[in-house]
Structure 1
Amino acid sequence: MSRQKLHEKLKMKEVEPKHGEQFNNLLRYVFNITNHDLQTVGWENGEIAQAKLPVLEQADVLGWFNGDQLISQLAVYPFQVNIFGKAYEMGGLTGVGTYPEYSNLGLMNKLMRQALANMRDRKQSISYLYPYSIPYYRNKGWEFISDKISFEVKDTQLPKLKNVPGNMERVTIKHADIKRVYDRFALQTHGAMLRSELAWEEYLRWDLEDMIAAIYYDAENQPTGYLLYWIDQEVFYLKEIVFINQESWAGLWNFISAHFSMITKVKGHTYTDEPLAFLLDDGDIKETIIPYYMARIVDVSLFVEQYPFQKQETDGQLTIALHDPMLEWNHGLFTLTVDKSGQGQLVKGGEARDAELDIQTLTTMLMGYKRPSYLARIGRLKANEAAVEVLEQWIRRQHPYFSDYF
């Protein structure tokens, strides 16, 4: 059968809970997940299929079918993120895969276009994803918006104990105060996931059963920080460390340092632009920074309407030529106006252009991951000096934080 005739046989439609086994089989094949891998993190045969059923019930899952066989798929989770203090509806793209015998038919490109159109209909003006192929997703309009800094601290480099008025308590990982602390943290942290039950489920899905949680309570018995961790072969592994203030940071590290006699090192990750080394007495530690999550603006007009620009002394206006490889509604000449209160509006059309860029560059710039002046210097933003300076004044200076995985 020719490739063209094969394509004509295929149909795109929603993936439903009844397709759960096929959904998981495709995921496991594409990402090479074996039964041994599942058992290593505590999953038994069949449990993963059952655990993924809520995804098929809550997410927008699209697929290509050859008859009754699911052969290509993607899923979009209904999430929310904090962007400079505003809660944005976010489409979390995941579960992307196609069986190799159906590759090079353009199936995933069409799935993505439909998924992005569905996101726009649901007012999800931005999409996040973890990239398994950076060039592929860049070509589709996604760009990096967060970093992950992995660190390794020797037992001799652990910070000295500091006097704090509160105390630590070890609890189960599902303790309600963990979510209370995270919710408070996420509401004050640009870029962070506002974790729903589905987001928490995804975040903890692959963790070992012996994960431990510890919460810092201040002098008024209010939870202000927590750790998720485990200890294995004298290594203290930190999955997550969340703190509201410097007092809780000190309390959490006091707790880690109290394991001095049990461990030889601490391994973990941070997701800000502040390396841990500067905060330690002995900052000669190993730190590795890698780009982490990518994002793309789905509906640029809606995104700008929601976006909190910096307040200005006068109203401002720029004409921008925007390129989007996937979405025609984001492509063309636009007029961007920002009033004195920081309220923005983007409308089609305009006179002589002040700036030209693609959707991935606009995304990383408005998210604060890369500044306009830097993007102009490397040629990603083509603009005159006056336009670059205006963008520098409009866009807040805060690096995005994103620690989740889905």
Structure 2
Amino acid sequence: MTVFKLSGDQLQEAMKLSEYAFQYQVPEDQIADRIETMKQHHQIYGINENDQLAAKLHLLPLSIYLGKNQLKMGGIAGVATYPEYRRKGFVKELLKEALFQIKDQGMSVSMLHPFSVPFYRKFGWELFSNRMKYILNKSDLIMKNHPSGTIKRLMKEDHSAVIESVYEQYAEQFNGMLVREKSWWQKSVYGGQFVAVYYDNHGNANGYFMYSVHNRKMNVTEFIALTSNARISLWNFICQHDSMVDQVELTVFEREPLHFMLKEPRIKAELTPYFMARIVDVDYFLAQYDFKWNHIEQGVVLHIEDDLLLDNQKSVQLHAGEILTARDTDAGIRLSINTLTAILFGYQRPNELVSAGLISGSEACIEQLEALIPNRPPFFSDFF
């Protein structure tokens, strides 16, 4: 089978396959805009069978934050096969081609939203971020003492660099948050949502949340507060809707302190594993990673297993601010590309994965690796 890159009229065939596989219909007046977005922002790879498109995959060149660092990332989306062509290995070939393209284009990591976690784990992707959803009833909407400052309610047309700045300051506290270009805000973030922005007494924006209200239900898809005053003021603005809504669904970072601040915190909460990541270029990723070099006295050797990308299957030594090729040693830590990804994104700590039987090494080596990894949590609030 041959993987090829789609262009021209083939993009409409890709859209038809998405409509069939994901069971939706693009409105007639949106088809041209959808095709133009694919031309500008997607690389689409497909496999033909009998001169017909049988399977396809979208590659989105994006970037993410790893703390204050920004890394190029290849997003995988729109993976689909017509049912008559399933179980022929088409998706495996598309994923392999996508990984080679990601590496060749200078992206050291890939992300995707899985239809099946076990399926993508076979190809080296691993969970790296959770989503917390709180479900509140009207009786939970109890305001707190109102701090100084103001709230401005805006829409997509009012989007400005102010909102982007708040997001960027927040995103730099995590591993994995998307670097959002203005076009991404407009096409992929807002939808038909409102945004409520908190400004302090000096006119500085310190928080916002994005939301919609429909059929007496408020759905908050993003809640970002840089200060306690912002958090309280945004919460109070949610409470101001108590005459309009019977329920509020609030999607947040899993350790967002708003929950602890509620008068009655025993509300319904749903924690769900969300996105997966995969290190595609081990050497490049490690070179960009901000290890805590001053926290260790000795180095540690990692024996990395990657059955799909053999360039990643190697032994490296982390020592004194350098990443070196390790030779002729059995000592160190043995781990797969999956578990290395989970560790470096902060989703799991090395000691936790030892307890789960997913990595092996001496206690001293594990402690050295523990000391090297920044205590910075992962989070991802977008979708593609």
Q: TM tier, shorter chain?
A: over 0.9
SS of structure 1 residue aligned to 2:335 = strand
The 5 A counterparts of 1:166-181 are 166-174=149-157, 175-176=159-160, 177-181=162-166
Contact conserved, 1:301 with 1:346, CA < 8 A, in 2? no
CA distance in 1, matches of 2:10, 2:324: 41
Tell me how far 1:328 sits from its aligned partner: 0.6
Q: Give, as a single letter, the amino acid of the residue that structure 1 aligns with 2:182.
A: E
SS of structure 2 residue aligned to 1:25 = helix
Residues 288-344 of structure 1 deviation map (CA, whole Å, 9 limit, x = unaligned): 101000001000111100000113255632222221131111113x122232xxx44
CA distance in 2, matches of 1:230, 1:370: 33
Q: Indicate how the Cα distance of structure 1 residues 91 and 277 shifts in structure 2: closer, same or farther if over 3 A, else same.
A: same
Residues 183-231 of structure 1 deviation map (CA, whole Å, 9 limit, x = unaligned): 33223433211112353355337x4x4x222211111112221121111
CA distance in 2, matches of 1:160, 1:360: 44
Contact conserved, 2:333 with 2:360, CA < 8 A, in 1? yes
Q: Give, as a single letter, the amino acid of the residue that structure 2 aligns with 1:395.
A: I
> Structure 1: which 5+ residue stretches go unaligned?
1-6, 39-43
Tell me how far 1:68 sits from its aligned partner: 4.8
CA distance in 2, matches of 1:250, 1:199: 28
Tell me how far 1:279 sits from its aligned partner: 2.2
Q: Give, as a single letter, the amino acid of the residue that structure 2 aligns with 1:380.
A: L
CA distance in 2, matches of 1:302, 1:354: 21
SS of structure 2 residue aligned to 1:382 = coil
Residues 38-78 of structure 1 deviation map (CA, whole Å, 9 limit, x = unaligned): 5xxxxx22514532422333332211123653221111111
From 335, 338, 341, the counterpart of 2:316: 335
From 343, 356, 360, the counterpart of 1:365: 343
The 5 A counterparts of 1:68-87 are 68-87=51-70
- Structure 1 equivalent of residue 331 of structure 2: 353
Q: Indicate how the Cα distance of structure 1 residues 346 and 269 shifts in structure 2: closer, same or farther if over 3 A, else same.
A: farther
Corresponding position: 1:399 with 2:377: yes
Tell me how far 1:172 sits from its aligned partner: 1.2
SS of structure 2 residue aligned to 1:191 = strand
Residues 225-251 of structure 1 deviation map (CA, whole Å, 9 limit, x = unaligned): 112111122222112112222221111
Aligned residues: 382
Q: Give, as a single letter, the amino acid of the residue that structure 1 aligns with 2:104.
A: D
Contact conserved, 2:207 with 2:225, CA < 8 A, in 1? yes
Q: Give, as a single letter, the amino acid of the residue that structure 2 aligns with 1:197.
A: K
The 5 A counterparts of 1:234-313 are 234-274=216-256, 276-312=258-294
CA RMSD, Structure 1 to Structure 2 (Å): 2.0
Comparing 126-135 with 349-358, which one deviates more in the overlay? 349-358
Corresponding position: 1:89 with 2:89: no
Contact conserved, 2:173 with 2:376, CA < 8 A, in 1? no
TM-score (norm 2): 0.93
CA distance in 1, matches of 2:72, 2:142: 39
Tell me how far 1:126 sits from its aligned partner: 0.8
Tell me how far 1:393 sits from its aligned partner: 0.4
Corresponding position: 1:16 with 2:1: no
Contact conserved, 1:315 with 1:337, CA < 8 A, in 2? no
CA distance in 2, matches of 1:202, 1:348: 46
Contact conserved, 1:146 with 1:271, CA < 8 A, in 2? no
> Structure 2: which 5+ residue stretches go unaligned?
none
Q: Give, as a single letter, the amino acid of the residue that structure 2 aligns with 1:382.
A: S
Contact conserved, 1:92 with 1:129, CA < 8 A, in 2? yes
CA distance in 2, matches of 1:360, 1:256: 39
Contact conserved, 1:79 with 1:199, CA < 8 A, in 2? no
- Structure 2 equivalent of residue 121 of structure 1: 104
TM-score (norm 1): 0.88
Tell me how far 1:402 sits from its aligned partner: 0.7
- Structure 1 equivalent of residue 303 of structure 2: 321
- Structure 2 equivalent of residue 383 of structure 1: 361
Tell me how far 1:96 sits from its aligned partner: 0.7
Q: Indicate how the Cα distance of structure 1 residues 77 and 170 shifts in structure 2: closer, same or farther if over 3 A, else same.
A: same
Superposition misfits of 4+ residues, deviation over 4 angstroms:
none
Contact conserved, 2:221 with 2:252, CA < 8 A, in 1? no
Q: Indicate how the Cα distance of structure 1 residues 158 and 112 shifts in structure 2: closer, same or farther if over 3 A, else same.
A: same
- Structure 2 equivalent of residue 103 of structure 1: 86
Q: Indicate how the Cα distance of structure 1 residues 198 and 70 shifts in structure 2: closer, same or farther if over 3 A, else same.
A: farther
CA distance in 2, matches of 1:324, 1:202: 36
Contact conserved, 1:139 with 1:325, CA < 8 A, in 2? no
Corresponding position: 1:190 with 2:175: yes
Residues 11-48 of structure 1 deviation map (CA, whole Å, 9 limit, x = unaligned): 32111143221011111111122x3xx5xxxxx22514
Q: Indicate how the Cα distance of structure 1 residues 258 and 108 shifts in structure 2: closer, same or farther if over 3 A, else same.
A: same
Tell me how far 1:275 sits from its aligned partner: 6.3
